[in-house]
Chain A
Amino acid sequence: MRFLELSRILKFAGQSFMRNVWLSIVTITIITLTLLSISFLLVFNIITQHTLKAVEAKTSVYVDLTDQASPDQANILVDELKKIPTINKAEYITPEQTLNDFKERHKTDQVIMDSLNSLEKNPFRGSILVGVNNISDFPSILQELSKKEYADYLEIEDQEFKDAQFLISGISDYSQKIQKGGIIISLVFIFMAIMVVFNTIQVGIYTHREEIGIMRLVGASNNFIRSPFLFEGVIYSVAAILIMIAVVYPCSIFIQPYLDGFLKEYSLNLMSAINQNWLTIFGWPFITAVFINVASSFLAVRRYIKV
């Protein structure tokens, strides 16, 4: 397409946009809402993925040692456990460390502290802290630790493993449910956007019907007739994406303290997460918007002008 033709197409598209400015504003608003719902879904996905990884990385269980297990045997066990590929961390926790940790956690509870001081010896036994690469590996690790050769030294309580798994699957389930809801909302908005854009273009074509008729009469090519409407759709998309960017960043600043409060040590810097995933959060919605607009324009033009 030559520059001259392109410049005239852009001029006609701009004229159409301005002549129906209120209709254009409504269309851009609907597209912006659609894009925002999609981008919030994407941001939510990033947050939940980050949280799941962080929780998984920090999830570990304590395997208690029996009275028969000496510190040396415990260290041998740790070395053996480190050889299992699904285990990323194995650490011997002495009875003294366990006692100190317990005291630290309950230092404000005088009843517990008094009871502890009344005992003549350390009531805690040693344990091994086990961390895994993937939470779904817990059952196989549990099976590994239940072998006969460890039976004399380890007291396996699978409840702790189950609790950890429950936590992870709980987060995962909630995020999946919220994502499903988000997808439904996005689909509703996409459908609304298609309908609004389609009708906007139809109204545009209706207001331009004389012009279109004359264009056909004097030999304008089909592309020349169609292109201004397609470009008008692109103008809507660009305007919507710019508004979306202008909304998403302030929103991320606003949400950050709430996110920190809710996720605590698992929280993430939302702004930098958005920057790192810029193409995903803004690129895909933009492609979606252009697709909605161009497809709607194409269908409306095809339906309303015999070209």
Chain B
Amino acid sequence: MIKFHQVSKIYPGQTTALKDIDLAIDSGEFVSIVGQSGTGKTTIIKLIIAEERPTSGQIIVGGWDITDIRNKEIPFLRRQIGVIFQDFKLLPKKTVFENVAFALQTCAVPNTKINQIVPQVIKIVGLEGKEGRYPNQLSGGEQQRVVIARSLAHKPKLVVADEPTGNLDSLNSREIIDLLKKINELGTTVILVTHDREVVNSLRKRVITIDDGQIIADQARGRYIL
């Protein structure tokens, strides 16, 4: 599903975020990428969604070499990846339904199809009955569920979540992680970037540990070791 071959990323000012990373994630896996702040976890996500280009090395996503992806090809890549961020990125003046539908509207999906897909994904995340609410009328956990629903709207084969529980209490965090597990069980590859020890230890899934831009551990049923 995803392959990083000798990938390095150096930001302007000679800040090295990643050094010669080799990584392979198979289809259907649930992988946690852990590490302390500033170790390069988010850079991996940015490289996967082509928000950043590697300084050197090769990146393949779903069999597609995106190392030198052209700008006009990026939208097509992103439609195949669901992205979840810590800060939700919801439109405050749109309802739950409209926020989820927005992802499809911008990609020329017909209204009839939007009206089919949106209720389905809202049901998956457990927000039935709250379609007409605005983000400020929802709890943090519910807002993150809307983001997950939006990320599922394109029926992606890969979901990447960058600190999705960072702004949530432990109960809501638990619910979001359970939701990601459920999505993974339905066949979607999930990459979870986090520094939440409890979450990682409870998952008992593959854990890749990053420190100072390098992979220092890659365990099939790992734990948070830092």
Contacts and interface: CB of A to CB of B under 8 A. Distances in A.
Interface stretch (A92-100, A113-121, A168-176, A215-223): A215-223
A298 to B, nearest CB: 15
A225 B78 CA distance: 14
Interface string A234-257: 000000000000000000000000
Interface stretch (B14-22, B69-77, B170-178, B193-201): B69-77
Interface stretch (B35-43, B98-106, B115-123, B183-191): B98-106
Contacts of B72: 221-222
A19 to B, nearest CB: 9
A218 B102 contact: yes
Contacts of B154: 218-219
Interface footprint category on A: 10 to 19
B75 A220 contact: yes
B78 A216 contact: yes
Interface string A202-227: 00000000110111111111101100
Contacts of A162: none
A5 B150 CA distance: 19
Contacts of A219: 75-79, 103, 106-107, 154
Interface of chain A, helix or strand or loop or mixed?
helix
Contacts of A111: none
B89 interface: yes
Nearest to B82: A218
Nearest to B103: A218
B110 interface: yes
B107 to A, nearest CB: 6
A221 B76 CA distance: 8
B108 interface: yes
Interface string A30-45: 0000000000000000
Contacts of A5: 108
B76 A4 contact: no
A2 interface: yes
Interface of B: 49, 71-72, 75-79, 83, 89, 91, 102-103, 105-108, 110-111, 150, 153-154
Interface of A: 2, 4-5, 8, 210-211, 213-222, 224-225, 307
User: Nearest 8 CB-CB pairs, A to B?
Assistant: A220-B106, A219-B79, A219-B78, A218-B103, A219-B75, A5-B108, A221-B75, A215-B106
Given A2-B108, A218-B102, 18 more contacts: A4-B111, A5-B108, A8-B108, A211-B91, A213-B89, A214-B91, A217-B78, A217-B83, A218-B78, A218-B79, A218-B103, A219-B76, A219-B77, A219-B79, A219-B106, A219-B107, A220-B107, A222-B71
